[in-house]
Every structure is written in C-alpha cells, then in structure tokens.
Structure 1
C-alpha cells in the first residue's frame, strides 16, 4: 500500500522556528508527520529549441515536523535544514548563523516514512 501524498503551501511563518501549512486533519495530516519545504523561486527552465518555459527548478530548504493539527491547517517546527552539512547528514536542525528564509507560498510535501533516513525517523 502506498502512503498518501500530501502537498500544500506555507500559509504563515509564525516565528523563526514555527510555520503553518494550509493542510490539516481534514487532509490526513497528523502530529509527527515530516514535511519538506521547497523553494518556489528557482530558476526558470526554457526549452532552447522552442523558447517555451518548461518549469522551474525547486530545491528543498528544510524539513518541519507537525506538532499541532487543526481541521484546515497544521503547525510545524523546524526539523532539518537540508542545504547545510547537518542536513546532508540528517542531523536535527540546530540554529546557527546561517539563515534559511521561508516564504508564505513555499510548497510543502509530506516525506513518506519509508523515504526518511533511519536515524531521522527514529527521533
């Protein structure tokens, strides 16, 4: 059985470590779920033959873990920053001088339990 795919967007940046996503219990979100936050402002990919816009590159900014679920939204704390050394190793996010900017409208996507690294899922 395939796990459900839940996607949405950042609806509110509550503080430096907490955000709200526009999916909640009605969409199947539960506490403990981990979502990847993706940038929506990557470079545009253009077909060199036709000049047609093919889409945008997206990069994962960080991961968040849901701790509060309402019917239509969920609140989540920063869990893993993926653009850093710590993210590459799957170490839980520890703030430092590097700043990851999350914007309202950034996309979020559920990370299926079987796709997580063992040591990340166990925390």
Structure 2
C-alpha cells in the first residue's frame, strides 16, 4: 500500500452498516477493512516543553466494505477472531446490559484503511 487511505463516516444505515465518504474513485474496493476512530484524536503534549508529541486515535471497531460506488462505500461491522478487539461482536448501538461495552459510531468519525487484502481475512460478523 502506498499512502494511507483515510476518510469519515458519512451515514449510519443501521446497527451493522455504515457509509464512508471514500469510494472507487479513491481506490476503495470490496473486502477492504477500515478501522473506525473516535471523532478528534487526543493530543499528547510533552509536560516539560509543551511541545505536541503526537495524537492518539481511539479505535471503536472495524468494518469491511461490501458495496462500492464512485464516491462512497458501504461497510458492515467486521469481527476478526484473531484480534483482541474482535472477540466480541457488538453492533453500533446496543441496549444497555450489565458488563457490556456500548460502541457508538457517529457521523464524522474518522476511518482508516487497515487491510486491503480482500481474500485473506474471514468475516465472522457480517450481517445482511
């Protein structure tokens, strides 16, 4: 991969499907996996110098692209059982239950390509 493919959540269709604001014109193809991050990254500042050291993105979940248009792509929640974050399949919005983490995805949340290899990972949490 040359360069990072980043974008934002443009629309939330349902509890398992979202639309990102990048499509075929940007090189998106079905099978790509994107990480969805909290809105703005947290700035890390050096307490001694006050200089910005970097930014920390908080990953909410991962989605796999299944439908691509020229300017946008639709993606389902994605569970990778080899990844600690993917051990639990959680929809974007859940009814509150004891000991359950609620994942809320918002329009404007950032997305970043984490895997462009469409045939090498298993989708175990896709919902039609």
Please confirm whether the aligned pair reaches a TM-score higher than 0.5, indicating the same fold.
Answer: yes
Q: Distance in 2 between the 1:99 and 1:122 partners?
A: 24
**Is residue 29 of structure 1 aligned with residue 28 of structure 2?**
yes
Are the counterparts in 1 of residues 61 and 85 from structure 2 also a CA contact under 8 Å?
no
Unaligned runs of 5+ in 1: none
Higher helix share: 1
**Is residue 122 of structure 1 aligned with residue 122 of structure 2?**
yes
What is the DSSP-based 3-state SS (H/G/I as helix, E as strand, rest coil) of the residue aligned with 2:79? strand
Matched residue, 1:88: 84
The C-alpha deviation readout for 1:43-76, integer Å capped at 9, x for no partner, is 4322213334444321211110111111000010
Shift in Å at residue 94 of structure 1? 5.2
RMSD between aligned residues: 3.0
Of 98-107 and 37-46, the range deviating more from structure 2? 37-46
What is the DSSP-based 3-state SS (H/G/I as helix, E as strand, rest coil) of the residue aligned with 1:100? coil
Q: Distance in 1 between the 2:116 and 2:69 partners?
A: 21
Matched residue, 2:102: 99
Q: How does 1:47-62 map to 2 (within 5 A)?
A: 47-62=46-61
Cα distance, 1:92–1:25 mapped onto 2, change above 3 Å: farther
Shift in Å at residue 42 of structure 1? 4.8
Cα distance, 1:71–1:113 mapped onto 2, change above 3 Å: closer
Cα distance, 1:56–1:40 mapped onto 2, change above 3 Å: farther
